[in-house]
Amino acid sequence: MQEKHTMPAPARHYFWNDPDKRALVFQIIVTVAILGLAFVVVENTLSNLEKRGITTGFDFLSQESGFGIIQSLVEYDETHSFGKTFIVGLLNTILVSVLGIILATVVGFLVGVGRLSNNWLVARVCGAYVEIFRNIPLLLQILFWYFAVLRTLPSPRQSLDLYDTFFLNIRGLYIPAPIFQEGAIWIGVALLLAIASVWVIKRWAEQRQLASGKTFPVFYTAAVIVIGLPLLAWFMTGQPVHWEVPALKGFNFRGGYAVIPELCALLIALTLYTASYIAENVRSGIEAVNKGQTEAAFALGLPKSRTMQLVIIPQAMRVIIPPLASQYMNLIKNSSLATAVGYPDLVAVFAGTTLNQTGQAVEIILITMSVYLLMSLLVSLLMNMFNKKMALAER
């Protein structure tokens, strides 16, 4: 009994009491377990596929697809390969994502700034917008726009029209398309020239302002040049660009660009849904800029617009950009809901139709997932670079 009151003799050093060795053993066990699990899964999959008579591998990519796709940015018909369906789907995903990102950014910034408006009514309307659209599942919104709105539009003969140039009916949205004739290239050249000269003028104006303090109305000059120069080229080359206005021929519209209703519905829903999140990012970004910053700028005599441009926005953007990037990523991922209304995006075409036709589930799902994974890795890489640069600039 006496021993209990004395210090215990130093215990023998068992190797499992050494934290480093313990960690090493634990890591080895986990690795073995995971590899073992992976082995079992691969084994099962191979035997299951064999029983179903599905050959593994990526050979199917070169086989003829045999199905059509309602919208393609590149040349495609049913004689093209399954590999081409991947390209078509990917391009359609990119198309709707890029358009969605642009529109959602515009709407999101407007609503976000609107929520901070001094005007009570505007702030309330913007707040209601955010609370409504971000609390309803995106899928429901896509289905709503497609089935409840666009699918109930009138037939082509009773199209809704705007000045007889834009037409909206159950088959989609028809907008005029430019027809380029000989000499049209000069208009493009003029436009490029105009953009280049605006850039030069902007640089010059900045230099001059820094050197002499004199300001120059860059915006108006730029507007005149960018609109004026191509217009001048258009007249001088004998008006070689015409607008082909869609027109009702028989049962449908011919000419112009046709935007399929699936794309419209997806785009509207993605834009309104993502914009409600972007608006919140914008609002909190601007609110994150200390009120003292505005006051200090005002106290120095800077007018409201300059305070925004030189003090508030540069600081707010640092807060806004990282969550904005993850919203863009969410939009790209959410565009996969296209499959619910039949817009031929990557998931609908490749992980949907192509998978059903070939049965190559494993390969197709892995390819599809890798595409999204690559995109999000790219976005987070860019974000890390951005954050590092910002961290450097402030300390």
Minimum CB separation from other proteins for residue 203, in Å? Answer: 14
Minimum CB separation from other proteins for residue 160, in Å? Answer: 17
What is the DSSP track for 123-137?
HHHHHHHHHHHTTS-
Stated length of the chain: 395
Nearer to other proteins by Cβ, of 122 and 218: the residue is: 122
Report the alpha-carbon distance of residue 64 to residue 103 in Å, rounded. 37
Report the alpha-carbon distance of residue 11 to residue 214 in Å, rounded. 83
Q: What angle do CA 241, 247, 248 make, to 5 degrees?
A: 165
Minimum CB separation from other proteins for residue 191, in Å? Answer: 32
Minimum CB separation from other proteins for residue 43, in Å? Answer: 9
Distance of CA 219 to the CA centre of its chain: 29
In this structure, the number of other CB atoms found within 10 A of the CB of residue 36 comes to: 10
Residues in a beta bridge with 64: 81
Nearer to other proteins by Cβ, of 98 and 369: the residue is: 369
Secondary structure of residue 80 in the 3-state scheme:
coil
Taking alpha carbons only, the member of 332, 348, 349 closest to residue 340 is 348
CA 339 vs CA 183, 203, 335: distances in Å:
42, 47, 9
Nearer to other proteins by Cβ, of 253 and 281: the residue is: 281
Minimum CB separation from other proteins for residue 7, in Å? Answer: 15
Nearer to other proteins by Cβ, of 218 and 361: the residue is: 361
Nearer to other proteins by Cβ, of 99 and 125: the residue is: 125
Nearer to other proteins by Cβ, of 4 and 214: the residue is: 214
Minimum CB separation from other proteins for residue 55, in Å? Answer: 14
